[in-house]
Amino acid sequence: MRQGGHEPAWYDDAAGRLVRPYTISNGRTRPTAHFDLLTMVMATGRRPVACQGPDYARVLGLCGGPVSVAEIAAHIRLPAVVTKVLLADLVECGALTARAPAAVSADPASRTDRALLEAVLHGLRKRL
């Protein structure tokens, strides 16, 4: 660990991650299961024998309750595709369950909530 920080020794303040992201996924760039960025995953409580290592442990630590793929990728600071590979491994081992996002209606009018979009735009303008 860094002094006063929570990052492991394989992370350097100046250089960033000392292990390349695709090394973590053993060079794999395609997960064995389909994950959308909004797919919700949750730990089953089962500890996998095959999926060991600090990145798998960090992912499992984040999945105590339902959490999206995008949130996990942001927390572990890995590209989404690498995160999806790790998640697919954990689902395969039985350590995680995954639930796809709810399907959106085919009617374009029902997919767009103008008030919500205006609120998001207003929030963005305030930040800029």
For the segment 81-102, what is each residue's pLDDT rounded down to a tens digit?
889 988 999 999 899 999 988 7
**Residues above pLDDT 90, as percent of the chain:** 27
Q: What are the residues facing 99 on neighbouring strands?
A: 40
Residue 49: count other Cβ atoms within 10 Å of its Cβ.
8
- Give the model's pLDDT for residue 116: 80
**Between residues 18 and 108, which one has the greater pLDDT?**
108
pTM tops 0.95, yes or no: no
pLDDT in tens, 45-66: 988 777 778 888 899 999 999 9
CB 9 within 8 A of CB 1: yes
Count the alpha carbons within 13 Å of 91 in the hemisphere toward its beta carbon: 19
